[in-house]
Amino acid sequence: MWKEFKGFIANDSIVSLATGLIMGSAFTAIVTSLVNDIFMPLIASLTGAADVSGLSFKVGSATIGIGLFLQAIINFILIAIFLYLTLKALEKAQHKKIVAPDEEPSGPSETELLEQILAELKQK
């Protein structure tokens, strides 16, 4: 049972999952900083006040604070836009790298290699 557990932990998919999780949390810190330190101040300067976290209204004797919820929605939309644009740029960059080379291969073609092999076999 211990060997099976060690095999499970050392499995490539588990290691890949852990790596993805760590990279995801690091990327989350970058995106959060981008939203909080760059986008939100820009929006605040354009709109005058983009921080809606203090908004609330009263219903009877209860105070409903919707500001934090609205702020979370704003953050989500900004993060979604940033991720969409980033993934589109990465997709475009990868597509160019994979598809763009229309150059001729620098070595002999497959036919030339087969002809060379055939010539060597005939010599023997």
Residue 79: half-sphere exposure toward Cβ, Cα within 13 Å = 14
What average pLDDT does this structure show over 89-104?
A: 68
Q: What was the pLDDT predicted at 102?
A: 60
Q: Which residue has the higher pLDDT, 58 or 38?
A: 58
Between residues 101 and 112, which one has the greater pLDDT?
112
State yes or no: pLDDT of 118 exceeds 60: yes
Q: pLDDT tier at 96 (50, 70, 90 boundaries)?
A: low
pLDDT for position 75: 75
pLDDT at residue 98, as a whole number: 53
Q: What percent of the chain has pLDDT over 90?
A: 0
Per-residue pLDDT of 44-84, as tens digits, reads 777 666 566 677 888 889 888 887 787 778 778 877 887 78
The confidence score (pLDDT) of residue 14 equals 76
DSSP string covering 49-104: ----TT--EEETTEEE--HHHHHHHHHHHHHHHHHHHHHHHHHHHHHHHHH---SP
